[in-house]
């Protein structure tokens, strides 16, 4: 072996053992591995790569025992809203039948905005029975339902039901005012959880106690719901007045803890409470309820009675006038002012009248007489 070949072998060994050469080889290997990882996205390469670990803060404030260096280098990530505690799975289906007006449509939109745990569906045909709503709720995975039923394009009924076993309540909705119509100054966070305030009368009578439980389960947003916000900044109030339930929505102002109405607002007139969902035995029937058809009939009868009363007054006035005229004609003192009538004799002309004498001009006659006097 010559000395030149020995020199080349020594240089090669030196180059291989040099740290710069090893670093370049590592870079090449890492680049090739990254390229392979990019090519195999979602495959085995993705499972081999470990993600970054973050520390989640527990509610109780318990921190696992770790070294001081790791705790200093860790980045704390805020926990999710639910933290696996979303146990209340109440879901409300809000939809209506065909034939509703624009006001009802806006009211349904406002309720869906206020209730993040609600779901929507297409309008139901009028020919379908109400029991079909239970199947729709089962398909949509909902256990509560707010169903708006329109009749005669002017009457609106609302069903609140616990699907599919009941109970359910039917209301007549009156005096609807939507968010856009009221133009209130208040504003609350979308998806925030509300406080429910009830009138003390809800605890005194059994039918109102049942409705209170229905309202709580339907309108209250479940805690740790994924679409809800961890804030409480508005209040739903249910008050009883004039045998009706008045719904109002208020915002809580942080400065002075006062309330500002946001809307929507409406009045519920209870009709019946059923044991089942959209039917079944009647648990309670409101004796003070009058149907809208009967109310409109009473209005028409009252208007017709007013017209008949006016006609009777006119007839009575005519009769009084006739009676007054007869009394004046039969007045005894009227003969005092009667005087005999002086009748002139009737002259009948048998001869023709005499011709009229035409008078001449006086000025000309005077002039002639003066001229004749002068000639004499």
Q: How far apart are CA 108 and CA 179, in angstroms?
A: 11
Q: Which residue has the higher pLDDT, 3 or 323?
A: 323
- Give the Cα-Cα-Cα angle 150, 115, 275 (nearest 5 degrees): 55
Whether the model clears a pTM of 0.85, i.e. scores above it, the answer is no
Residue pair 148/172 in contact (Cβ under 8 Å)? The answer is no
Instruction: Judge whether residue 322 has pLDDT over 70.
Output: yes
Which of 133, 157, 142, 147 is CA-nearest to residue 92?
Answer: 142
Question: What pLDDT digit, counting tens, does each position of 148-163 carry?
Answer: 999 988 899 999 999 8
Instruction: Judge whether residue 10 has pLDDT over 60.
Output: no
High-pLDDT (> 90) share of the chain, %: 37
Instruction: Judge whether residue 326 has pLDDT over 90.
Output: no
Does residue 164 have a cis peptide bond before it, meaning omega lies within 30 degrees of 0? yes
Q: Which residue has the higher pLDDT, 317 or 185?
A: 317
Instruction: Judge whether residue 42 has pLDDT over 80.
Output: no
Q: How far is CA 131 from the centre of its chain?
A: 26
| CATH code for residues 92-294 | 3.40.50.10480
| Per-domain residue ranges of the chain | 92-294
Question: What pLDDT digit, counting tens, does each position of 229-280 carry?
Answer: 888 889 999 999 999 999 999 998 877 778 888 889 999 999 999 999 998 9
């Amino acid at each position: 072996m010559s000395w030149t070949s020995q020199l080349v072998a020594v240089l090669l060994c030196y180059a291989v053992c040099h740290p710069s050469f090893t670093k370049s080889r590592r870079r090449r290997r890492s680049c090739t591995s990254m390229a392979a990882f990019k090519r195999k996205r979602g495959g085995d390469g993705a499972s081999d790569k470990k993600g970054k670990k973050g520390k989640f803060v527990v509610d109780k404030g318990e921190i696992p025992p770790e070294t001081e260096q790791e705790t200093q280098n860790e980045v704390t990530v805020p926990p999710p809203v639910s933290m696996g505690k979303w146990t209340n799975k109440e879901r409300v289906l809000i939809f209506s039948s065909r034939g509703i007006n624009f006001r009802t449509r806006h009211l349904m939109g406002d309720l869906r905005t206020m209730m993040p745990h609600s779901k929507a569906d297409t309008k139901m045909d009028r020919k379908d029975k109400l029991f079909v709503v239970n199947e729709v709720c089962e398909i949509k995975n909902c256990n509560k339902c707010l169903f708006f039923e329109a009749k005669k394009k002017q009457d609106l009924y609302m069903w609140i039901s616990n699907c599919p076993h009941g109970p359910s309540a039917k209301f007549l909705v009156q005096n609807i005012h939507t968010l856009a119509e009221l133009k209130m100054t208040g504003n609350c966070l979308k998806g925030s959880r509300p406080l429910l305030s009830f009138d003390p009368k809800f605890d005194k009578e059994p039918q109102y106690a049942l409705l209170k439980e229905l309202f709580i389960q339907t309108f209250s947003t479940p805690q740790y719901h994924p679409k809800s916000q961890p804030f409480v900044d508005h209040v739903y109030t249910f008050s009883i007045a004039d045998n009706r339930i008045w719904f109002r929505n208020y915002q809580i102002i942080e400065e002075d803890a006062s309330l500002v109405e946001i809307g929507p607002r409406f009045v519920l007139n209870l009709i019946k409470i059923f044991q089942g969902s959209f039917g079944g035995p009647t648990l309670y029937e409101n004796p003070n309820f009058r149907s809208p058809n009967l109310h409109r009939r009473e209005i028409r009868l009252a208007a017709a009675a007013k017209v008949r009363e006016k006609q009777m007054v006119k007839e009575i006035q005519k009769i009084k006038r006739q009676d007054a005229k007869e009394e004046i004609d039969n007045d005894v003192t009227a003969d005092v002012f009667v005087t005999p009538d002086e009748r002139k004799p009737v002259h009948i002309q048998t001869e023709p009248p005499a011709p009229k004498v035409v008078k001449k001009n006086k000025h000309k006659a005077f002039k002639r007489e003066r001229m004749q006097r002068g000639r004499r």
